[in-house]
């Protein structure tokens, strides 16, 4: 077969194939999948994620409610309270006396009647069996209405210490199961603070769950704390140890102190209101600490209430002997500590003293006792306090004088120094 014959044969075959009908090949599917909807329709079917929003309440939607009191003007239901005082003033005993009154529906020191209820004690300092319960019994409490936080039990039955950062919701469940809890005592209140008790932000963050717990359960919370050193004659609420947030968050601050009597009379112990955002912030009651035997061979301290007293907490708890006496180791030691590194400006002295709870009058009188020298620095400068016998006082005082004089230096330089400034600054001064 030559080439021409081969070409005619191929052409005939191509024409025959082209003339045949095209039949599509269909592959059967056992479970055909439904067709996917368009992306636009699919996006419309997904509900949008709700964004965070601020919730506002209109005054017309709110129902005005009065403060609910456990002890009128002293202990409010659903609120946080602070009881502060120096060591040895019976703060825990005072709190347990109030708790005992709640358990029996007794009378408060002002004669008003208390609604009966259960009490809860969360203490990190005193033992329940040998200290807290005996004091409650000495105060006449109904022990069947007294409960104590011992810890938390895990799934495996292990008892662990109560952790306020994680266990407050479990405490709420336990309180709701008991029912009728009217008072929670936290001793000390710093136990509720996981972070630094001297930082306002951390204290507020730690106390807010406690406040929420009080509001949710409807009981009053009484937190116990101590006074800081010094500050006699000042506002007792400002002497609470730690951050000022403790007294800021609390709605009522109670203080307990012993006031020295004159003319050899017996010293007085006074419980007073130092702050209240809900009612009067003055007045108080005298009290005594006594020993009783609630059970044979069981002795415990309790409170014996005395007469009502009037006046502010500052007036009631100010000891004239302490205010007038500036020659105390407390104030003197504070000033010596300030001057340990040399002189200080008067402004910084008063600033540090205020932070420590000392008044300006106390510091001024104590400075005279110490022989503190006060020097004016520079033109328009402030005062610098110098303790002559303090280490580095002379050198630091000289530096302070130079520092405060530098701003006025250009005005006192002779014109001949304009071209070539001196190298020895002290020669100019």
Are residues 207 and 232 located together in one domain of the fold? yes
Residues 137 and 296 sit within 8 Å (Cβ to Cβ) = no
DSSP string, 193-257: --S-TT-HHHHHHHHHHHHHHHHHHT-EEEEEEEBPS--TTS-GGGGBSS-THHHHH-SEEEEEE
Which single residue is written with the structure tokens 């005592």? 185
Residues 400 and 26: their CA atoms lie apart, in Å, by 99
- Cα 202 to the chain's mean position, in Å? 7
Are residues 293 and 369 located together in one domain of the fold? no
pLDDT at 3: 64
280 occurs within a structural domain: yes
Dihedral over alpha carbons 380, 383, 389, 393 (to 10 degrees):
-40
Are residues 126 and 242 located together in one domain of the fold? yes
357 occurs within a structural domain: yes
Q: What DSSP state is assigned to residue 276?
A: E
Domain boundary among 318, 344, 373: 318
pLDDT at 19: 66
Which single residue is written with the structure tokens 């004669």? 111
> Which helix (H) or strand (E) covers residue 289, if one does?
strand 284-295
Residues 233 and 399: their CA atoms lie apart, in Å, by 36
DSSP string, 347-400: HHHHHHHHHHT--HHHHHHHHHHHT-EEEE-SSS--EEEE-TTSTTHHHHHHHH
Q: Provide the β-strand partners of residue 376.
A: 383
Burial class of residue 262, CB neighbours in 10 A (0-12, 13-18, 19+): exposed
- Mean pLDDT, consecutive 10-residue stretches, the chain (429 aa), reads 68 68 59 57 61 91 94 97 92 97 97 96 91 96 96 86 87 94 95 87 92 96 85 68 89 91 76 94 94 94 94 75 49 77 84 76 82 76 78 46 42 42 42
Residues with Cβ < 8 Å from 22, sequence gap 6 or more? none
* Domains identified in the chain, total number: 2
Domain at 304, CATH number: 3.40.50.300
Phi, psi at 421, each rounded to 5°? -65, 150
Closest CA to 182 of 118, 256, 125: 118
Q: What is the pTM for the complete model shown?
A: 0.65
13 occurs within a structural domain: no
Domain boundary among 266, 293, 318: 318
Residues 408 and 379 sit within 8 Å (Cβ to Cβ) = yes
Are residues 332 and 311 located together in one domain of the fold? no
Are residues 329 and 295 located together in one domain of the fold? no
Dihedral over alpha carbons 103, 107, 113, 116 (to 10 degrees):
0
pLDDT at 397: 44
pLDDT at 336: 79
What does the chain come to in residues? 429
DSSP string, 120-148: EEEESSS-IIIIIHHHHHHTT--GGGEEE
As a whole number of Å, the CA-based R_g of the chain is 39
Closest CA to 117 of 138, 144, 136: 144
Phi, psi at 235, each rounded to 5°? -70, 120
pLDDT at 335: 81
> Residue 351's domain spans which residues?
325-409
> Which helix (H) or strand (E) covers residue 97, if one does?
helix 91-104
Closest CA to 244 of 357, 168, 348: 357
Residues 102 and 220: their CA atoms lie apart, in Å, by 11
pLDDT at 364: 83
∠ CA 256-262-265, rounded to 5°: 80
Are residues 346 and 314 located together in one domain of the fold? no
pLDDT at 44: 59
345 occurs within a structural domain: yes
425 occurs within a structural domain: no
Are residues 333 and 213 located together in one domain of the fold? no
Report the phi/psi class of residue 380: left, alpha or beta, with left for phi > 0 and alpha for psi in -120 to 50: left
Burial class of residue 147, CB neighbours in 10 A (0-12, 13-18, 19+): middle
Domain boundary among 274, 289, 318: 318
Are residues 249 and 345 located together in one domain of the fold? no
Are residues 274 and 330 located together in one domain of the fold? no
Which single residue is written with the structure tokens 């001196």? 422
pLDDT at 403: 47
- Cα 243 to the chain's mean position, in Å? 6
28 occurs within a structural domain: no
197 occurs within a structural domain: yes
Q: Provide the β-strand partners of residue 55.
A: none
50 occurs within a structural domain: no
Are residues 265 and 124 located together in one domain of the fold? yes
Are residues 298 and 359 located together in one domain of the fold? no
**Please, how many CA atoms are within 13 Å of residue 43, restricted to the half-sphere of its CB?**
3
Are residues 224 and 340 located together in one domain of the fold? no
């Amino acid at each position: 077969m030559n080439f021409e014959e081969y070409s005619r044969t191929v052409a005939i075959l191509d024409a025959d194939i082209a003339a045949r009908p095209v039949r599509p090949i269909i592959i059967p599917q056992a479970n055909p999948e439904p067709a996917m909807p368009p992306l636009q329709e699919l996006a419309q079917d997904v509900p949008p994620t709700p964004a965070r929003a601020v919730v506002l309440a209109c005054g017309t939607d709110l129902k005005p409610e009065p403060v609910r009191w456990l002890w009128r003007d002293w202990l409010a239901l659903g609120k946080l309270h602070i009881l502060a005082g120096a060591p040895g003033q019976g703060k825990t005993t005072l709190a347990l006396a109030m708790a005992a009154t709640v358990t029996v529906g007794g009378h408060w020191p002002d004669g008003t009647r208390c609604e009966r209820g259960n009490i809860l004690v969360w203490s990190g300092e005193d033992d329940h069996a040998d200290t807290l319960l005996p004091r409650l019994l000495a105060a006449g409490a109904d022990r069947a209405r007294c409960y104590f936080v011992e810890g938390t039990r895990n799934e495996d039955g292990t008892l662990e210490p109560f952790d306020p950062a994680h266990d407050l919701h479990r405490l709420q469940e336990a309180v709701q199961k008991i029912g009728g809890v009217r008072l929670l005592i936290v001793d000390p209140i710093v136990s509720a603070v996981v972070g630094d008790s001297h930082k306002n932000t951390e204290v507020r963050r730690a106390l807010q769950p406690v406040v929420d717990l009080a509001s949710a359960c409807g009981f009053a919370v009484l937190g116990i704390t101590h006074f800081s050193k010094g500050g006699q004659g000042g506002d007792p609420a400002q002497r609470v140890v730690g951050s000022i947030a403790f007294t800021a968050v609390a709605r009522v601050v109670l203080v307990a102190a012993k006031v020295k009597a004159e003319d050899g009379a017996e010293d007085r112990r006074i419980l007073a209101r130092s702050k209240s955002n809900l009612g009067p912030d003055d007045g108080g009651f005298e009290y005594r600490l006594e020993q009783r035997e609630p059970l044979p061979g069981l002795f415990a301290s309790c409170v014996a209430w005395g007469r009502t007293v009037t006046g502010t907490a500052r007036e009631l708890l100010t000891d004239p002997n302490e205010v007038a006496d500036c020659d105390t180791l407390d104030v003197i030691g504070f000033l010596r500590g300030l001057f340990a590194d040399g002189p200080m400006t008067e402004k910084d002295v008063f600033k540090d003293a205020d932070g420590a709870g000392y008044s300006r009058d106390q510091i001024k009188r104590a400075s005279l006792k110490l022989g503190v020298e006060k020097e004016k620095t520079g033109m328009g400068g402030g005062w610098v306090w110098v303790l002559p016998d303090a280490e580095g006082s002379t050198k630091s005082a000289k530096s302070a004088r130079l520092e405060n004089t530098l701003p006025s230096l250009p005005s006192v330089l002779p014109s001949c120094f304009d071209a070539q400034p001196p190298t020895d600054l002290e020669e100019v001064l």
